[in-house]
Amino acid sequence: MSIYDFKVKAQDGSEVALSDYKGKVLLIVNTATGCGFTPHYDELQDLYDAHKADGLEILDFPCNQFGAQAPGDDEEIHSFCTGRYGITFPQFSKIDVIGDNAIPLYKWIAENTEFDGFGKGPMAMVMKGVAKKMDKNYKNNGAIKWNFTKILVDREGNIVARFEPTVPMKEVMEAVKAAL
């Protein structure tokens, strides 16, 4: 199975085949509008502006599973993101990324990535505590742990990196540039 085998629901409700993105570098992100990491939207948009012409696509999947930080329907979320952060990259319908109702794409991501920790620093310590409350075995599985986890996919559809939300965006940007 490959990333190109999946179909997802666009923000307008239509079905989108990820095979439409063949040959592109993808950064797949589960997002939330009311999260401490929401300002990542600014850096994601900067990255998109700088590299869309080079073949980068950022695929934004709003998710309300972590701290109920993505309230509202698809239209409200989209209006917030375009109005507050000026996003122009594709935003999809709100989804679940963990649990029984997780969409097949995210079930596949969890099976094909590893959690590599939250790093060091104050936010890493906070996230460790939060993740442990949600899943005592969080260190040993590929389930998404929080909002703004980023999955980097190369032009051939291979997952090449996973970035937890505590990873500095500078590292994400460097990896994206290398993949391009």
Helix (H) or strand (E) holding 132: helix 122-134
The predicted structure's pLDDT at residue 5: 97
Please identify which residue in the block is written with the tokens 């040993």. Answer: 140
Tallying the residues shown for the chain, one arrives at 180
Range of the domain at 110: 3-179
The predicted structure's pLDDT at residue 107: 97
Report yes or no: 106 and 95 within 8 Å, Cβ to Cβ.
yes
List the structure tokens of 173.
């940007």
Question: From residue 177, how far is each of 3, 22, 180 by CA, in Å?
Answer: 20, 18, 5
Angle CA 176–178–180, to nearest 5: 70
Amino acid at 75: E
Burial of 120 from C-beta contacts in 10 A (0-12 / 13-18 / 19+): exposed
Report yes or no: 25 and 153 within 8 Å, Cβ to Cβ.
yes
What amino acid positions are annotated as catalytic residues?
Answer: 35
Q: Give the CATH number, domain containing residue 36.
A: 3.40.30.10
List the structure tokens of 83.
């109005």
pTM of the model: 0.96
Number of domains in the chain: 1
3-state percent helix, strand, coil for the chain, nearest multiple of 5: 40, 20, 40
pLDDT in tens, the chain (180 residues): 899 999 999 999 999 999 999 999 999 999 999 999 999 999 999 999 999 999 999 999 999 999 999 999 999 999 999 999 999 999 999 999 999 999 999 999 999 999 999 998 899 999 999 999 999 999 999 999 999 999 999 999 999 999 999 999 999 999 999 999
SS3 at position 115: coil
